[in-house]
Amino acid sequence: MTAQHRPGLVLGSRFAGDFPELGVPWRAAEASVPRLLVLNEPLAAELGLDADYLRGDEGVRLLAGTHVPEGATPVAQAYAGHQFGGYSPRLGDGRALLMGELPDGRDLHLKGSGRTPFARGGDGLAAVGPMLREYLVSEAMHALGVPTTRSLAVVATGDTVQRERPLPGAVLARVAGSHLRVGTFQYARANHDDEVLRRLADHAIARHHPEAARAENPYLALFDSVLGAQAELVARWMLLGFIHGVMNTDNTTISGETIDYGPCAFMEGFDPATVFSSIDTQGRYAYANQPPIMQWNLARFAETLVPLVDPDRDEAVRLLTEVLGTFPDRYQRAWTAGMRAKLGLPAGAPAGEADELIDELSRLLGATRPDFTGFFRALGAAAEGDPTAVRGLVGHLADPWLARWRALDPDPGSMARVNPLYIPRNHLVEEALDAATAGDTGPFEELLVVVADPFTERPGLGRYAAPAPPDAAPHVTFCGT
């Protein structure tokens, strides 16, 4: 097969070349018997990559990081970050590598590829289960219309990873607009002069927010653009009941994409205090806390931009604080627009009446705690005149609200396009990952097919739309390190 038929071999090294201060050239650990577990063929086609090549020996080694295409310079990226509110000045890719930039400009990045200088005592490896979790949930998020990193492949390494018990090892290959984070800017600001910080900001503008380059103050415009993207992103999370679980500043992207699916999960019974992460004992990253935490993270981003925004520090702080203060309103507008869509409200519905309905619904859900995803899907039937499923979830308490809502003539067709029937239900995800860890990928593959098309009902697959059984143990997630 000739080079022109192997687009997977074309990887740029722009970040590695432009920012030697922000990364360390590195190579992945060898994999004893690399074997492809899952390949995202639609994504490969979108990227212009040859799926047959990626399934071959060299392609699998590329996806595991042990084959480096000519001209590529894999690097472990450096970044800092606030983790659960505490600042860590040196984090970085402890078990990951940026392989390089694909022809369309997106990053090809590996996770679980071995220790790097940033490993902080860890082994740098990953197990099959957590890597398949990121693949599954990130692809579900993409299908739900949420900006996200994408999963290209998971490769089993043939090696054993030691955790609480021995587990089969794996490497995830993922694709993103970039892997620039708030933590990248924190690291540049703390460890380098303003020239490096300025180059980094110019790189982020050119790559993600080019309109900022034309603004009177490009770096203030960069902040404004990132803030807007993150307000929209968190609103989408909230509308789906998604809980990221570890909203540290090193997991907050400049592109506005969701990144790092460690202790993430979807809320089932509605409860604003829901937390799944085993280490979030104080509920810092609970469902309802996600919008204010994102604003807090953006404040840390603003701090890094002070020397770029204005030579007068006080003026820079004033300008950045002014933009930061717009976050609650921008988030609320995005969330309200999303709720109107979930309720099928026509464009002409009076804003005041719609807002009252949404507020009343929030109180109703808080009082009855129904399955969040199931409730909104059931509303579609209620819009067509059958409130049976809604009453089954919240009882007759909903009747007055339903009467007012139906008087606005909601559109069940539009509701079916925005309210998913299928999400990665936590008990089903664990079931699939346990089977895959034991060598059976069948349940994973079936669940992936369902969540990759979440709005289309599939006969005979009702269990994928049902919440966990009432006697199921509370769901707990872990960072997977």
Please give the positions annotated as active site.
250
> If we measure between CA atoms, which residue out of 5, 1, 49, 474 comes closest to residue 275?
474
For residues 223-234, b (16+ Cβ closer than 10 Å) or e, as one string?
bbbbbbbbbbbb
Q: Residue 313 to residues 181, 220, 297, 306, 309: CA-CA distances in angstroms?
A: 23, 13, 20, 7, 9
User: What angle (nearest 5°) sits at the alpha carbon of residue 457, between those of residues 452 and 463?
Assistant: 85
Instruction: Kindly tell me the number of DSSP H helices and DSSP E strands found in the chain.
Output: 18, 11
Q: Residue 155 to residues 94, 372, 456, 481: CA-CA distances in angstroms?
A: 19, 34, 30, 17
> Would you say how long the chain is, in residues?
481
d(CA 425, CA 462): 12
DSSP result, 396-433: GGGHHHHHHHHTT---HHHHHHHS-S----HHHHHHHH
Alpha helices in 79-181 (DSSP H): 128-143
> If we measure between CA atoms, which residue out of 165, 97, 92 comes closest to residue 127?
165
CB 133 within 8 Å of CB 428 = no
